[in-house]
A and B are shown apart, each in its own frame.
Chain A
Amino acid sequence: GAGVSQSPSNKVTEKGKDVELRCDPISGHTALYWYRQSLGQGLEFLIYFQGNSAPDKSGLPSDRFSAERTGGSVSTLTIQRTQQEDSAVYLCASSLAGGGGLGTFGSGTRLTVV
């Protein structure tokens, strides 16, 4: 596609439920990143995928968070047993290669846990 696509754009869920957020990166981009942005805050790194290498999961805040990237393309971020503090905008980004940082961000998924 023309850009990084994320779905859903908005998600409201009840506390304790599981959610899945999807990211479809730009075709051919080997690097994919998930970041989280709470209201009025900066960008918090969650996880980074680069090609077939083991992902860098050092930013995942708890074991309730996990992510997969199937076939080197689409990625799914899963949050189990959601808590209110999980409410944030979850941003995905991709780039051509791992070096040099990010290329393009998606428009994000706004998650609200009630």
Chain B
Amino acid sequence: GENVEQHPSTLSVQEGDSAVIKCTYSDSASNYFPWYKQELGKRPQLIIDIRSNVGEKKDQRIAVTLNKTAKHFSLHITETQPEDSAVYFCAANCNTGANSKLTFGKGITLSVRP
């Protein structure tokens, strides 16, 4: 099955700097890669996603890039703000037929220092 890994487990940046969070996946058939943000005590929220037919997607201060050859994808946050502090989960799945089970990474805790 799919295996998704996130490294490192924690990341600390200065407010205003950029943050890059990386994930790797194992199943070359995976074709959908969402990112979720989970603030303390709250539910995970989808913040951006990418499909395997594109290499990059942007939405204001966040972007996601995908390298299918290397089987890794990254979340980029520019001009970080304290409210970006949260746990970020990446996930991958193979969107074929009825099987859309997402496999999540263990999460990265991002701390933005004011």
Instruction: Give B43's nearest chain A residue, CB to CB.
Output: A105
Q: Is A12 an interface residue (CB 8 A)?
A: no
* Chain B: minimal CB distance from A96 (Å): 11
For B101, the chain A residues whose CB sits under 8 A away are 33, 45, 48, 56, 58-59
A-B contact count (CB 8 A): 65
Closest A residue by C-beta to B106? A42
Q: Is B80 an interface residue (CB 8 A)?
A: no
Closest residue to B42 on the A side, CB-wise? A107
Nearest-CB distance from A41 to chain B (Å)?
7
Chain B residue numbers with a CB within 8 Å of A72 are none
A contact residues around B43 at 8 Å (CB): 91, 105-108
Distance A104 CA – B44 CA, assembled complex (angstroms)? 8
Instruction: Specify the chain B residue showing the minimal Cβ separation from A6.
Output: B43
Question: Chain A binding site: helix, strand, loop or mixed by DSSP?
Answer: loop
Which chain B residues lie closer than 8 Å to A45 at the CB level? 101-104
Given A101-B91, A103-B46, A107-B43, is A43 in contact with B104 using a C-beta cutoff of 8 Å? yes
Asked if B98 contacts A42 (CB within 8 A), the reply is no
Most chain B C-beta atoms within 10 Å of own C-beta, residue among A42, A50, A53: A42
Query: Chain B residues with Cβ under 8 A from A95's Cβ?
Result: 100
Identify which of B97, B100, B105 gathers the most chain A CB atoms within 10 Å of its CB. B100
Cross-chain contact B102 with A101 (CB below 8 angstroms)? yes
Interface centre among A31, A45, A56, A108 (most CB of B within 10 A): A45
Ordered by A's residue number, 11 sampled pairs between the chains whose C-beta atoms are within 8 Å are A33-B102, A45-B102, A45-B104, A48-B101, A56-B101, A91-B43, A100-B100, A101-B34, A101-B91, A101-B93, A106-B43
Q: Which residues of A approach B to under 8 Å, CB–CB?
A: 31, 33, 35, 41-45, 48, 50, 53, 56, 58-59, 91, 95, 98-108
